[in-house]
Structure 1
Amino acid sequence: MQVKTEQAIVARWEGRREPLLSIICLAYNHAGFIRQTLDGFLAQETDFPVEIIVHDDASTDQTAAIIREYEQRYPSIIKPIYQRENQYRLGVPFSTRLFAQARGRYIAYCEGDDYWIDPRKLQIQVDFLEAHPDYVMTYHDAFMFNSKGVIQSPHLTGRYRADATALELMQGRHVTTLTTCFRNLIHELPPELIGVEVLDICWWSLLGAHGKGRFIKEIRPAAYRIHEGGIFSMRSSKQRIRMSMHAYYCLARYYHRIGNQAVHDHFMGLVFSHSLALMPVSGKVRAMLAVGRNISLNVLGRLNRLPARN
């Protein structure tokens, strides 16, 4: 991957300095990966200014030192934030707070252990969003890999390899986070969502209130790394289910408060299905019997309230 000097990158912007797009990168103990991530950012070929906000969450390895090295080489592009105390352990939703600090009209998100491959990625995504105000975000494909090689490609399959309606986004439509580019509209989280670990589900849901999502198949897949330090990917299947279920429950509470009963019911259905997935077989049978009994009683109650026919 060819990375240009800062002078060569800035020359493409023809004297403009205010960023149209902000790249948000969260890093923690990513010393073995962060160079490839930053090189993927700097290799982007855009005719608009870009800023790179790199947030180091008090890494205990050489991640911060590597970021400082890049900061010195690209001082007008790379805007680092170095934490002295780990914000993730404190439960601080710092990724969302970074959106409020970003100066760009658009946000592209990629964590410090993943990387982009297509140098035209951002230009293609921003061009589309600039021309289509009814879309709030774009995304493309990725592949999953670990130290032994590719383990899943493509990452998006079936109906997810398509555009998303606004409602589908509100319902937590699955997209691959490191491939997204979206309008910078989320600057804080509703109180119901504070403490959610799987925040990207919440972002897409909140963005759905503003428009649709576009799948752009022409962009080359990005690289989603699976490794022992991964916050979500290396959790057990039960832990991942619990984390997602918590996000769905919190979203249900949010939509209940704002009066969107349909989306509330959708998320409560996901909470129920995820709860079933955590139960042993005997528990699932009892739960389904209880649901069937409640539905039967509800139907009988409605029938009893119907007026009698002569």
Structure 2
Amino acid sequence: MREWEGDLEMPLVSIVCHTYNHKEFVENALNGFLMQETTFPFEIIIHDDASIDGTQEIIKQYQERYPSIIKPIFQEANIFRIGHRPTMYSFPAANGKYIAFCEGDDYWIDRYKVQKQTAFLEDNLDTVICYTDSTPFADGAVVDMDFGGARRDLSATELQKGPAIYTLTVCFRNVLDNPPELALVRYGDKFMWSRLGKYGKGKFLAEIQPSLYRVHSGGVHSSSSAVEKNMMYFQTYTAMAAYYKRLGEDELYQYFVGKLKNKVYSSDGISQKLIKFLVPISELLRKLKRFLLNQ
């Protein structure tokens, strides 16, 4: 903090972290944030979705040690189960011009990550997001898996199509709102990248050390079966198609309808398993409407 320039009450970057039952992992994440060496103030917005394993107690200990940096949001009841998303709470609380994102079970190892990413965005106004490589690991060892994150620059049009980007590596301009369709999305990162594409292009920064992605049984994506992943894609593309339909952006609407059809139909016809387990959209929308009215 002695190296920080500017108003300490006006952080340039908000590091946003979401946790749920990450007791065994969250210290790695917090230490990766706190070791960042920057010339500007940053804050850590950490949203915990009513963990029951002691995660909140660890966060509170860190908050007591770094009260001017760590700003937790503690939920008393799990909001994900009722169709809300953590970004509905964490992003509005972020005061920074930029948001650097990392889940509580992953962590950073490059102490200059945020400095380098922010400097690039400051110097390149046509870029809305920058990202790096990621290394998957489990039980302390690197895992030979590739989750398909982008390792190249992306145009604004490519971003709008919701590409795969390693979520734990991103830093982007704080420009996103919370549209109602967010309640339906299961892959929230795809929806984020798509909406960011309205504001610019993406940059891959290869010189930053890869962040560490933890593969474990509690991970939403890494622990899901093929059928469950298809269900999550189905629901996400439904929401994204609805979003662009509402905005009158027909080309993107048609694109996500096409992605949706690819998930629904096969050579044998419609996937009954997918339809059977699809969460009713109307009910989720009603829940979100109630949530918004209460804000």
* Residue 82 (structure 2) aligns with: 90
5 Å matches for 1:159-170? 160-170=150-160
- The CA deviation at 1:220 is 0.5
Residues matched between the structures, number: 269
Q: Residue 244 of structure 1 corresponds to which residue in structure 2?
A: 233
Which residue in the other structure is 1:132 paired with? 124
TM-score (norm 1): 0.83
**Residue equivalent to 2:7:** 16
- Take 1:155 and 1:127, find their aligned partners in 2: how far apart are those partners? 27
Indicate if the aligned counterparts of 2:73 and 2:90 stay in contact, CA closer than 8 A.
no
Shift of 1:21: 0.3
Alignment of 1:1-310 (within 5 A): 10-14=1-5, 16-17=7-8, 18-147=10-139, 149-152=141-144, 155-156=147-148, 160-189=150-179, 191-276=180-265, 279=266, 282-283=268-269
Say whether the 8 Å CA contact 2:184–2:235 is kept in structure 1.
no
Q: How far off its partner does 1:223 sit?
A: 0.6
Secondary structure at the counterpart of residue 11 of structure 1: coil
Contact 1:202 1:251 in 2 (8 A): yes
In structure 2, what residue type is equivalent to 1:209? Answer: K
Q: Deviations over 1:90-124 (max 9, x none)?
A: 22122243111110000011111000111111011
Which is further off, 249-258 or 113-122?
249-258
For 2:161, the aligned partner's letter is Q
Q: Is the 8 A contact 1:141 1:155 kept in 2?
A: no
Tell me, what secondary structure is at the counterpart of 2:213? strand
Cα separation, 1, equivalents of 2:220 and 2:119 = 32
Deviating beyond 6 angstroms after TM superposition, the runs of 4 or more aligned structure 1 residues are: none
Q: Distance in 2 between the 1:155 and 1:251 partners?
A: 21
What is the letter of the counterpart of residue 100 of structure 1? P
Show structure 2 runs of 5+ residues with no match. 271-295
Q: SS state of the match for residue 194, structure 1? A: helix
Is the Cα contact below 8 Å between 1:143 and 1:152 reproduced in 2? no
Note if contact 1:171-1:205 (Cα within 8 Å) is conserved in structure 2: yes
| Distance in structure 2 (CA, Å) of the matches to 1:255 and 1:11 | 46
Judge conservation of contact 1:245–1:271 (CA < 8 Å) in 2: yes
- Name which of structure 1's ranges 128-137 and 229-238 shifts more when overlaid on structure 2: 229-238
The answer to whether the 8 A contact 1:97-1:187 is kept is no
Q: Deviations over 1:190-216 (max 9, x none)?
A: x23322121111111111111101111
SS of residue matched to 2:17 = strand
User: How far, CA to CA, are the matches of 2:147 and 2:216 in structure 1?
Assistant: 16
Amino acid of the residue matched to residue 164 of structure 1?
A: L
How well do the aligned residues superpose, as a CA RMSD in angstroms? Answer: 1.6
1:26 and 1:54 in contact (8 A); partners too: yes
Counterparts in 2 of 1:24 and 1:148: CA distance versus 1, 3 Å: closer
Q: When the two structures are superposed, what TM-score results if normalisation uses the length of structure 2?
A: 0.87
Cα contact 1:142–1:155 (8 A) shared by 2: no
Tell me which amino acid in the other structure corresponds to 1:257.
R
One-letter amino acid of the structure 1 residue matched with residue 7 of structure 2 = R
Q: Using the alignment, how far apart are the partners of 2:261 and 2:231 within structure 1? A: 12
What runs of 5+ residues in structure 1 fail to find an aligned partner?
1-9, 285-310
Q: What percent identity do the matched residue pairs reach?
A: 45
SS in 2 for 1:152: coil
Bigger Rg, which one: 1
